[in-house]
Amino acid sequence: MADAVRHNLALFGPAGSGKGTQAGFLERELGVEHIATGEMLRQERSRGTELGQTLAAYLDAGKLVPDEVIVAMIRHRLADPQADAGFVLDGFPRTVAQARALQEMLASLERPLDAAVVLDVPTAQLIARLTLRARQENRSDDTPDVIAERLRIYHDETEAVLDYLGHSVPLVRVDGAQPVEEVSKAVLRAID
Ligand code: AMP
């Protein structure tokens, strides 16, 4: 019997580009595991553990948490049977060191990434969306200064990840400024 179709995907885009929304869509549509590092970190913080307290300083400042912390979290999730049908990474990898660690983990699981999908949205639109979300969700990292810092880090660190991954993984850019449903359709077409 042929192997079941698996989708091993990574979704990229700056804060406010709609990664969470589109990853949620792919989870429902394809039955893959949505692995969102930002969400995992916020949950850890809300548990009030010692690790959570350490993480809070990074989250509130919009800084990246240390690679070792995030890589250990991801290792755990990828090995979980929940991810057997595939996964969509949302917010990871964000540094080249994380991308290297990911490639090693996936090689040992014999599950290479099928595609990296990048959501492109103009900066002015990102700022408008994040400012609105700040009012709706009261997230500690959606203040103007922290938004600027998160966008800067994406530009400085995460764009380099795309260069790195692009050598071995099909990389597709999708116009993330379209209405949500159109973005979803474009993402599905991109990974087909
Ligand atoms: P997000 O919800 O993906 O925008 O992530 C919110 C925050 O969590 C980021 O600003 C970082 O502080 C932290 N974070 C999320 N993913 C990572 C990652 N892969 N590496 C380091 N820090 C991360």
H or E stretch at 149: helix 144-153
Tokens at 30, concatenated:
């394809």
* Residue appearing with tokens 């850890």: 44
pLDDT at 5: 64
pLDDT above 60: residue 129: yes
The catalytically annotated residue of 6, 77, 100, 133 is 133
CA neighbor of 27 nearest in space, from 47, 7, 12, 41 = 7
- State yes or no: is 19 an active-site residue: yes
CA neighbor of 33 nearest in space, from 81, 69, 76 = 81
Q: What is the pLDDT of residues 101-116, one digit of tens each?
A: 999 999 999 999 999 9
Phi, psi for residue 176 in degrees, rounded to 5: -85, 5
For residues 149 and 114, what is the distance between their CA atoms, to the nearest angstrom? 30
> How far apart are the two ends of the chain, measured CA to CA in Å?
21
- State yes or no: is 133 an active-site residue: yes
Q: What is the pLDDT of residues 61-86, one digit of tens each?
A: 999 999 999 999 999 999 899 998 89
Domains and CATH numbers, the chain: 7-191 (3.40.50.300)
pLDDT at 2: 41
pLDDT above 50: residue 1: no
Atom from ligand 1 closest to the CA of residue 91: 3
Q: What is the mean pLDDT of residues 107-133?
A: 94
